């Protein structure tokens, strides 16, 4: 695997092994190697050319309402060596669609900060620690075009990577609340509302909806409400950033579990409805599945 594959999958921050990044015929590590007049020593702060293959990333052009593919034009790009474990890469990506519109013809500026066990290694293990894209107007990330929950999860993860604990948790809480309420509404659970038509406090809504639809994953049954309280506390600024960061992985798993449960519930309800229709069509039932 080449480094370009890692950068193309910028949303994945797992450690993976890649082919050598630095051309040893051109450059050498002055810490490890003796001076060599045919090769250039790479000190901290050196900018060098590295051949990493082609970066290919899909974005979404809102003007064309379609997925568009962007690529680096050259295999060789500039990299700044921060030290022998960190390199910074700046590059531009161009749209390769033949019918690109005025928005997707504009190049995208991309920046990646990559951590390696040793950047001079023949098979370095690398991981993206930060990235940033400067997107032209109307060009969006793919996750922004799926459903709002995937978008909020992506934003929560981004905030977490940037160590913005409270920000990350607010997105999780939003997902949790919106999803629970929307399931309650689609199931016509009237108990969620007060007599004046306003919604009850979320903690009550959660217990009402969970009782009818069991959305809290079994794993969290015992402390699901407690975790939600933690989510609330952090989102309301009653907890410090460190607590938010420390609790994020657990809270994310809980919220992801709830999202999965609700999805399964919806699929099940949909399947029931389909079955009812099918039974009614063949005249085996009046369509009431409980009969
Ligand atoms: Zn376009």
The region that residue 45 occupies, defined by phi over 0 for left and psi between -120 and 50 for alpha, beta otherwise, is left
Which residues are found with C-beta within 5 Å of the ion, ligand 1? 61, 63-64, 101, 103-104
CA 54 to centroid of ligand 1, rounded, Å: 21
**How confident is the model at residue 162, as a pLDDT?**
86
**CA-CA distance, 201 to 182, in Å (whole number)?**
15
Which residues partner with 78 through β-bridges? 49
Residues 89, 166 share a domain: no
What confidence score (pLDDT) does residue 50 get? 94
Between the CA of 63 and the centroid of ligand 1 the distance, in Å, is 5
Together in a domain, 199 and 270: yes
- For the whole prediction, is pTM greater than 0.75? no
Do 10 and 47 lie in one domain? The reply is: yes
* pLDDT above 60 for 174: yes
Among the three residues 84, 114, 145, which one is the final residue of a domain in this structure? 145
- Tell me the CA–centroid distance for residue 135 and ligand 1, in Å: 12
Does residue 69 register a pLDDT over 70? yes
Residue 237: its pLDDT value, please?
A: 67
Give 247-288 pLDDT, tens digit per residue. Answer: 898 888 888 888 888 888 777 767 777 777 777 777 766 545
| Segment among 13-17, 90-94, 281-285 with least mean pLDDT | 281-285
- Are 124 and 186 in a shared domain? no
Task: Tell me, yes or no, whether 181 lies in a domain.
Answer: yes
Q: Is the same domain home to 201 and 259?
A: yes
Is 105 a residue whose pLDDT tops 90? Answer: yes
Cα 86-246-114 angle, rounded to 5 deg: 15
DSSP for residue 144: G
Question: Ligand 1 center to residue 59 CA distance, Å?
Answer: 10
**What's the gap in Å between 138 CA and the centre of ligand 1?**
8
- Element spanning 231, H or E: helix 224-235
Residue 188 has pLDDT above 60, yes or no: yes
Apex CA 122: angle with CA 119 and CA 123, to 5°? 80
Both tokens assigned to 186: 């689609």
16 with 111, same domain: the answer is yes
Q: Residue 209 has what pLDDT?
A: 87
Going from the Cα of 142 to the center of ligand 1, the distance in angstroms, rounded, reads 14
**Using the 8-state DSSP alphabet, how is residue 215 labeled?**
-
Tell me which of 103, 120, 145 is where a domain ends. 145
Does a structural domain hold residue 288? no
Distance 143 CA to ligand 1 centre (A): 17
User: What's the pLDDT band for 173 if we cut at 50, 70, 90?
Assistant: confident
49 and 7 within one domain = yes
Highest mean pLDDT among 8-12, 15-19, 76-80: 15-19
Confidence of residue 58 (pLDDT cuts 50, 70, 90): very high
Q: Are residues 244 and 271 in the same domain?
A: yes
Query: What's the CA angle centered on 145, arms 272 and 273, to 5 degrees?
Result: 5
Q: Which of 145, 179, 213 is the last residue in one of the domains?
A: 145
pLDDT at residue number 285: 61
List, for residues 107-147, the tens digit of each pLDDT value.
999 999 999 999 999 999 999 999 999 999 999 888 777 77
Same domain for 68 and 168: no
Assess contact for 59 and 68: CB atoms under 8 A.
Answer: yes
Whether residue 128 lies inside any domain: the answer is yes
Cα 110 to averaged position of ligand 1 atoms, centre (Å): 18
Q: For residue 86, what pLDDT band results from cuts at 50, 70 and 90?
A: very high
How many Å lie between the centroid of ligand 1 and the Cα of residue 69?
10
Ligand 1 center–CA 132 separation, angstroms:
20
pLDDT band (50, 70, 90) for residue 179: confident
* Judgement on whether residues 17 and 139 belong to the same structural domain of the protein: yes
- 13 pLDDT band, cuts 50/70/90, is confident
Structure tokens at 16: 């993976």
pLDDT of residue 289: 45
* 5's tokens: 């594959």
| Ligand 1 midpoint to CA 53 (Å) | 25
User: What's the mean pLDDT when you consider all of the chain?
Assistant: 86
What residue numbers bound the domain in which 100 lies?
A: 3-145
Task: Please check whether residue 48 lies inside any domain of the structure.
Answer: yes
- pLDDT bucket at 290, cuts 50 / 70 / 90: very low
Percent of the chain with pLDDT over 70: 93
CB burial readout 191-216, b (16+ within 10 A) else e: ebeeeeeeeeebeebbebbbeebebb
Three-class secondary structure of residue 91 per DSSP:
strand
**CATH code for the domain in which residue 217 is found:** 1.20.120
Query: For residues 79 and 242, which has the higher predicted lDDT (pLDDT)?
Result: 79
Residues 130 and 158 in one domain: no
With a cut of 50, say whether residue 68 has pLDDT above it: yes
Residue 253 CB partners (closer than 8 Å, separation 6+): none
Contact 26, 136 (CB under 8 A): no
Q: Is residue 291 part of a domain?
A: no
pLDDT higher for 33 or 285? 33
Least Cα distance to 247 among 148, 149, 156 occurs for: 156
Ligand 1 centroid from CA 91, angstroms: 20
- Ligand 1 geometric centre to CA of 10 (Å): 22
Whether residue 184 is found in the same domain as residue 95: no
What's the domain count of the chain? Answer: 2
- pLDDT-derived band at 202 (thresholds 50, 70, 90) equals confident
Q: Provide the pLDDT confidence category of residue 223 given band limits of 50, 70 and 90.
A: low
């Amino acid at each position: 695997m080449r480094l370009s594959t890692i950068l193309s999958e910028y949303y994945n921050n797992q450690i993976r092994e890649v082919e050598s990044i630095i051309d040893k015929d051109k450059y050498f590590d002055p810490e490890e190697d003796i001076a060599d007049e045919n090769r250039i020593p790479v000190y901290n702060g050196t900018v060098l050319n590295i051949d990493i293959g082609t970066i290919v990333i899909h974005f979404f052009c809102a003007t064309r309402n379609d997925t568009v593919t962007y690529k680096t034009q050259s295999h060789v790009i500039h990299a700044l060596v921060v030290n022998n474990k960190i390199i910074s890469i700046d590059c531009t990506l161009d749209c390769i669609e033949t019918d690109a519109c005025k928005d997707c013809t504009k190049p995208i500026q991309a920046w990646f900060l990559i951590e390696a066990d040793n950047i001079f290694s023949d098979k370095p293990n690398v991981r993206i620690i930060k990235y940033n894209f400067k997107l032209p107007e109307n060009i969006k990330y793919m996750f922004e075009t799926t459903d709002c929950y995937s978008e909020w999860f992506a934003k929560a993860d981004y905030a977490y990577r940037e160590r913005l604990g409270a920000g990350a948790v607010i997105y999780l809480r939003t997902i949790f609340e919106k999803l629970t309420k929307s399931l309650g509404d689609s199931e016509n659970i009237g108990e969620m509302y007060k007599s004046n038509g306003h919604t009850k406090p979320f903690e009550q809504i959660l217990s009402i909806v969970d009782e009818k639809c069991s959305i809290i994953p079994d794993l969290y049954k015992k402390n699901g409400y407690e975790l939600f309280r933690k989510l609330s506390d952090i989102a309301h600024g009653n907890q410090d950033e460190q607590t938010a960061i420390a609790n994020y992985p657990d809270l994310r798993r809980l919220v992801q579990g709830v999202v999965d449960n609700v999805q399964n519930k919806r699929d099940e309800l949909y399947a029931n409805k389909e079955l009812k229709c099918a039974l009614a069509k063949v005249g085996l039932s009046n369509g009431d599945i409980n009969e």
